[in-house]
Every structure is written in C-alpha cells, then in structure tokens.
Structure 1
Amino acid sequence: MKKILTVTPASQATDLALLIARLGIGTLMLTHGIPKLGMLLSADPLPFPSVMGMSASLSLSLAVFAEVICSLFLLAGLATRLSAIPLLFTMAVAFLFIHAADPFGVKEPALLYLLGYLVLLLAGGGKYSLDYLLQTTTRK
C-alpha cells in the first residue's frame, strides 16, 4: 500500500509531463462529470443506463464519484494512483459496456482516457503533486 502512494524520482521533463497529463486529463474529465453531477442532483428521472445489474442511480453515483471527485484529486495530485483506479474502471465500463455496440469512433474517447489513467496509475503524480509534497514533509 505504501508503494502505491510513493512518488519515485524522475527527470524534470517527466515530472512536467505528468503534471500536464494530470491537469489536462483531470480538467477534460470534469467536463463530463459535472453535467452528470447536475443530473444526479436533479429531481428529474435519471436518463442514465444501469450497468452490470446496478440501478441507474447507483451507476450514475459511481460515475460522478470517479469523474468529479477523483478528477479533482488528480488535479491536485493527491492520491494520484488511487484516484486513477476508479477513473480507469469507469472508462473500461464506458468502452466495453455503454458504447459496446457503437462504432469505434464513438468509443475511442473512453479508450484514450483509459490509457491516460493507466499511465498515471503506473507513474504516479510526479514531483509537482501533493503526493510528492506530503511524501517529502513526512520524511523530515
């Protein structure tokens, strides 16, 4: 568990690339998550699919958690690897279930996000993240 929260040393270019990836992917995903949050808070019937036997409201709640809360954590670089897991899973569900019958061009964005989250899961937040700041202050 400790390793998943650790920031490993990298070059300045790699740390900058991870910052750009976190900020870019996190911000772009918020454009998908915030409308879903509005849907969830609305009193209107949910126009959201039920997935894998879950109700539409539970599916939407999990998508909102991943796309809004976890994206905000990514933007801050806080628990980056852990935050990438729900996002990765959400994009896998979108690619494999929600858009399964759609042409590749429609489901391609989910796959692109999935790949970005996989990179962040493997690489972590980098030096320009709260993960790094917390790691260095706890060592002193």
Structure 2
Amino acid sequence: MLKKFLKPIKLPASADWGVLILRVGISLLMLTHGYAKLQNLLKGDHSFADPIGIGEELSLYLTIGAEFVCSILVILGLFTRAALIPLIITMAVVSFIVHGADPLADKEHALSFLIVYVTLFLTGPGKMSVDSGLYR
C-alpha cells in the first residue's frame, strides 16, 4: 500500500514539465522561510509561536522540518507525497489557526502555498523526480 501511495501517476509530458516547475518553484520559495527559522534556531533563538498548544520549541522543530527538510525532498521529488503532508498541515495551521481571525489578505500567502501543496499531493511529483526513478 505504501508503494502505491508513493508511486507517481503517469502524466502527459507537458504536465510533467508543469509539475516540475511548480514543485521546484514553490519549494524554493518555502525553503527560504525554513532556512531563516533554522538559522535563528542555530543562533540559540528557540522562541516561536505555539498555535496548537504543543510548546514553542516543538512547534519550531516541526515547522523547520516541514519548511526546510520537506521542501528539499519535494524539490528532489523524493518521497514527495509523504513530504507534502507536513507542509500541508503547517500551511493549514498558519492559514486557519495562526491567521484564523485575520482578514483574507493576511491568510493569502499561506493559502497560496496550501493550494499548491494539495495540488502536488493529488498529481504526484511527475516523471522528472527521484520517485519516478525509484518506482519505475
């Protein structure tokens, strides 16, 4: 069942290019957010929001894991669908909890990431990915 979940679906060649551009582009943008948080952590700054009540430090670690580590996996197209789950959860928390009471303009950035991540989860990583080579 896990192999079926991770296996990329066959797309037309033009769609494979589109998924590659979307996958790499959005992940590079998110990587900048995760990298900044990682740099703060390495400097000893462990302060972070605790929107779901699990503690500031754990929230920070999970966010860095999603925004930095999972973004690298999505860029490579390695375990793509599994890597998208933490990113989807993180952007859902930012959109609906952190900015839940805020106007749409304040949620828009996180919602844009969320929409792309859900789309990539449904399409898979495409032919130009490590996953495609692994599950040929």
Same fold (TM over 0.5): yes
1-side partners of 2:46 and 2:16: how far apart? 44
2-side partners of 1:100 and 1:40: how far apart? 26
1-side partners of 2:3 and 2:63: how far apart? 27
2-side partners of 1:80 and 1:54: how far apart? 26
2:12 match: 11
1:86 and 2:70 aligned: no
1:40 match: 41
Contact 1:88 1:117 in 2 (8 A): yes
1:30 match: 31
Q: How many residues align?
A: 135
1:74 and 2:74 aligned: yes
The runs of 4+ residues in structure 1 deviating greater than 3 Å are none
2-side partners of 1:38 and 1:118: how far apart? 28
> Secondary structure at 1:16's aligned position in 2?
helix
Shift of 1:45: 5.1
Give the TM-score, by structure 1 length.
0.92
Give the TM-score, by structure 2 length.
0.95
Contact 1:67 1:87 in 2 (8 A): yes
Q: What's the Cα RMSD here?
A: 1.0
1:21 and 2:22 aligned: yes
1:37-61 residue CA offsets vs partner (Å, 9 max, x unmatched): 1122222351x11121111110011
Q: Give the gaps of 5 or more residues in structure 1.
A: none
Task: Tell me the amino acid that sits aligned with residue 73 of structure 2.
Answer: F
2:132 match: 132
> Secondary structure at 2:64's aligned position in 1?
helix
1:64 match: 64
1:119 match: 119
- Greater Cα offset, 31-40 or 67-76: 31-40
Q: Give the gaps of 5 or more residues in structure 2.
A: none
Shift of 1:28: 0.4
Contact 1:40 1:57 in 2 (8 A): no
2-side partners of 1:93 and 1:117: how far apart? 14
2-side partners of 1:34 and 1:71: how far apart? 10
1-side partners of 2:117 and 2:15: how far apart? 16
1:2 match: 3
